[in-house]
Amino acid sequence: MIKLISLDLWDTLITDPGSLEEERDLERAKFIKNVLNLKESDIDTIMKFFRDLVHSFKNPSKENEWAIMPETQLNKLFDILHVRPNRAQFEEILKVYEEEALRKPPALTEEDLPQTLAELKKHFKLALISNTGRVPGRVLQKILKDMGLLCFFDVLTFSDEIRRRKPDPEIFLVTCERACVKPDEAVHVGDSVNIDFIGAENANIRPLLYSPPPKEPKRTPFIRSLKEIKEVVKKLYD
């Protein structure tokens, strides 16, 4: 019997429409340039680093474990720029770096998501498992609260807080332990085959791929809308 539904965050519950992510990064780059009195051309270097950083987020590995924490991301950037901020400058940059998403928040993937989560909450415990990237768990909680989503989750597991990222099975197993359920009593829903689907499988948790149109599902089982979760879970596992 399934007792827990865990959900991915980015591109499953929330998303950055259009060029929003790039807009945030440009604001971060300009702020770093101004605080450290860098050349205008250094903005291009910073923006390239941010593009490479996104690749690291989408392809977690031992080699890019430095990308787990915003602090180590910035240290990597400063090494590339050959600069070393003082403590006050570092803290000032880190705050803006982490909190830019509060100024330019993401959008819901589905407009009726709060209603969907409310319905799921009647039947299952709910957990959130998120690789955090540039935005740490503490900031994501504020965003989720502002969106009216935070109240639905029994467990929140953020990669920057436990120093583990999906697809590492440990982040899934920690979530089950916090929710007081066994792995085979949980279903994980997420949009990434490599990070969510395979990660859940490797933790002996039942995976469910979120593949909204026009995406073509690359794994089975899958859903096209989050509203399908309850029906599909009960059909497959009850």
Q: Could you report the per-residue pLDDT of 139-184, keeping only the tens digit for each?
A: 999 999 999 999 999 999 999 999 999 999 999 999 999 999 999 9
Asked whether residue 114 falls in the same domain as residue 76, the answer is: no
SS3 state of residue 10? strand
CATH number at residue 188: 3.40.50.1000
Residue 66 structural domain: 20-103
CA distance 158 to 139: 11
Confidence of residue 237 (pLDDT cuts 50, 70, 90): confident
Q: How many CB atoms lie within 10 A of CB 20?
A: 15
Asked whether residue 139 falls in the same domain as residue 96, the answer is: no
Asked whether residue 32 falls in the same domain as residue 74, the answer is: yes
CA distance 178 to 238: 23
Q: Is the dihedral angle over the CA atoms 130, 161, 157, 118 positive or is it negative?
A: negative
CA distance 100 to 111: 23
Which residues face 128 on adjacent strands?
7, 156
- The domain boundary, picked from 69, 103, 137, lies at 103
Asked whether residue 74 falls in the same domain as residue 39, the answer is: yes
- The domain boundary, picked from 103, 118, 143, lies at 103
Asked whether residue 117 falls in the same domain as residue 76, the answer is: no
Residue at token pair 């600069």? 83
What is the mean predicted confidence (pLDDT) over 51-62?
95
Asked whether residue 172 falls in the same domain as residue 146, the answer is: yes
Asked whether residue 179 falls in the same domain as residue 232, the answer is: yes
Asked whether residue 232 falls in the same domain as residue 204, the answer is: yes
Number of domains comprising the chain:
2
Confidence of residue 238 (pLDDT cuts 50, 70, 90): confident
Asked whether residue 124 falls in the same domain as residue 111, the answer is: yes
Is 90 exceeded by the pLDDT of residue 33? yes
User: Given this model, what pLDDT does residue 25 score?
Assistant: 98
Asked whether residue 10 falls in the same domain as residue 27, the answer is: no
What whole-number percentage of the chain has pLDDT above 90?
99
Asked whether residue 60 falls in the same domain as residue 133, the answer is: no
Peptide bond into 105 cis (omega under 30): no
- The domain boundary, picked from 76, 103, 130, lies at 103
100 Cβ neighbours under 8 A, 6+ residues apart:
24, 27, 28, 134
Asked whether residue 10 falls in the same domain as residue 32, the answer is: no
